[in-house]
């Protein structure tokens, strides 16, 4: 079992709709969680970080964390074709090592 699990997709959403991405983790010692976006051939760029249970909103993005269920999610509202990318969920336990999920590929169709 991988430490961080994501559905590989592709998740296909129409333009303007909400994209919902999910991630589960197995290490209960995980303290911080990150969502990165990666376009094909490019490096990951940070979208959101979240450390406490609940929701965190930044523009069109909302991250949700539930430590009891070991679950992290990302909502993308008003999805745009430019949001088409692979979204990587990552966690950190003690130390500064990021553990990544396999990524969810998102396709936003005009």
Structure tokens at 108: 């936003």
Q: What is the Cα–Cα distance from 64 to 83, expressed in whole angstroms?
A: 19
β-pairing, 61-66 with 4-6?
unpaired
45 binds other proteins (CB under 8 A): yes
Count of chain residues binding other proteins (CB under 8 A)? 25
Of 22, 64, 70, 99, the one binding other proteins by CB under 8 A: 99
22 binds other proteins (CB under 8 A): no
DSSP class of residue 41? T
Q: Using an 8 Å Cβ cutoff, are 82 and 99 in contact?
A: no
Of 7, 49, 64, 70, the one binding other proteins by CB under 8 A: 49
Residue 28 beta carbon to other proteins: minimum distance, rounded to whole angstroms: 15
Count of CB atoms within 10 A of residue 3's CB?
14
Contact residues: other proteins, CB under 8 A:
31-32, 34, 36, 42-46, 49, 51, 88, 90, 92-103
């Amino acid at each position: 079992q991988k430490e961080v699990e994501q559905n590989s997709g592709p998740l296909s959403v129409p333009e303007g709709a909400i994209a919902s991405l999910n991630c589960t983790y197995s290490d209960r010692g995980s303290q911080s969680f990150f969502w990165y976006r990666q376009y094909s051939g490019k490096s990951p760029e940070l979208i959101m970080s979240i450390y406490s249970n609940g929701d965190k909103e930044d523009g069109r993005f909302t991250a949700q964390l539930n430590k009891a269920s070991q679950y992290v999610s990302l909502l993308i509202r008003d999805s745009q074709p430019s949001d088409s990318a692979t979204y990587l969920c990552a966690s950190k336990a003690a130390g500064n090592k990021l553990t990544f999920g396999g990524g969810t590929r998102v396709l936003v169709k005009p």
